[in-house]
């Protein structure tokens, strides 16, 4: 069912784990199959310097998690938001049609992690502004 590239990434996934004290942390799930994906990010000056994932899911979910984290390292957060599930699937040279929905988890987990990063950053900025005026 899966091509060789997908099976190879599934057998040797990169960036597995959780970053301690991440700058961005996103967890998403697929209500239909029950699979869950968490992506944690280390970000410096809006550039993703490290990304790790934990996925409870199928072969496609794990292969897309590994590929998606690999694709966003070194990118700015805004560039990472452009890493869609279609681009991840392209990088994997395709997924079976019935497995396309699994790749959406990776895109959503990245978006959630970046949303978390931006929220934390905004909070820090408002705290530092408050501090300045006290």
| Distance separating alpha carbons of residues 6 and 95, to the nearest angstrom | 8
Looking at the DSSP bridge assignments, the partners of residue 50 are 42
| Distance separating alpha carbons of residues 30 and 32, to the nearest angstrom | 5
Using the rule CB under 6 A, give the single segment among 5-13, 20-28, 53-61, 71-79 that binds ligand FES.
53-61
Interface residue with ligand FES, options 27, 29, 58, 75 (CB under 6 A): 58
CB of 30 to ligand FES, least distance (A): 5
| Distance separating alpha carbons of residues 78 and 96, to the nearest angstrom | 29
Catalytic residue among 1, 7, 18, 33: 33
Told to check if 33 binds ligand FES by CB under 6 A, we report: yes
Residue in the structure block whose two tokens are 């990245």:
110
Told to check if 108 binds ligand FES by CB under 6 A, we report: no
Three-state SS for 38? strand
Told to check if 84 binds ligand FES by CB under 6 A, we report: no
Told to check if 105 binds ligand FES by CB under 6 A, we report: yes
CB-based contact 70:15 (threshold 8 Å)? yes
Active-site residue set = 33, 102
Write out the residues near ligand FES by the rule CB under 6 A: 30, 33, 35, 57-58, 60-61, 102, 105
């Amino acid at each position: 069912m899966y091509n060789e590239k997908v099976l190879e990434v599934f057998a040797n996934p990169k960036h597995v784990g959780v970053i301690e004290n991440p700058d961005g942390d996103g967890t998403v799930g697929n209500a239909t199959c029950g699979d869950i994906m968490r992506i944690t990010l280390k970000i410096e000056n809006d550039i993703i310097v490290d990304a790790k994932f934990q996925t409870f899911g199928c072969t496609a979910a794990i292969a897309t998690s590994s590929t998606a984290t690999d694709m966003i390292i070194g990118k700015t957060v805004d560039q990472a938001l452009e890493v869609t599930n279609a681009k991840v699937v392209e990088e994997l040279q395709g997924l079976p049609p019935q497995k396309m929905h699994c790749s959406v988890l990776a895109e959503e987990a990245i978006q959630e992690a970046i949303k978390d990063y931006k929220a934390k950053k905004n909070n820090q900025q408002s705290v530092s502004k408050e501090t300045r005026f006290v």
